[in-house]
Amino acid sequence: MQAFYNAVSRRHINIEETMSCYTETIIILAMEDVSKAFAALTDLITEARRKTA
């Protein structure tokens, strides 16, 4: 989660709320920031795949 929060922070995206339980974490964002946050997540996944390949 820290890597995602860092990536979101670098893109100046405000996380409005975070809720978590044993198996899930829900992050609430402003609607206009959703695509930027999804891009950050996609970049992290791509980077992780590159490191493990």
| φ and ψ at residue 12, rounded to 5 degrees | 60, 45
Domain boundaries of the chain, sorted by first residue: 2-52
Q: Taking the mean position of all CA atoms in its chain, how far away is CA 7? A: 7
Q: How many residues in the chain?
A: 53
CA distances to 21, 38, 46, 51 from 25, in Å: 6, 15, 21, 24
Give the closest residue to 4 by CA, choosing from 26, 22, 21, 23: 26
- Residue 42 has what pLDDT? 97
Rounded mean pLDDT, 15-42:
96
Q: Is the pTM of this model over 0.85?
A: no
The percentage of the chain sitting over the pLDDT mark of 70, rounded to a whole number, equals: 100
**pLDDT tens per residue across span 10-26:** 999 999 999 999 999 99
Confidence class of residue 47 from pLDDT cuts 50, 70 and 90? Answer: very high
**pLDDT tens per residue across span 3-12:** 999 999 999 9
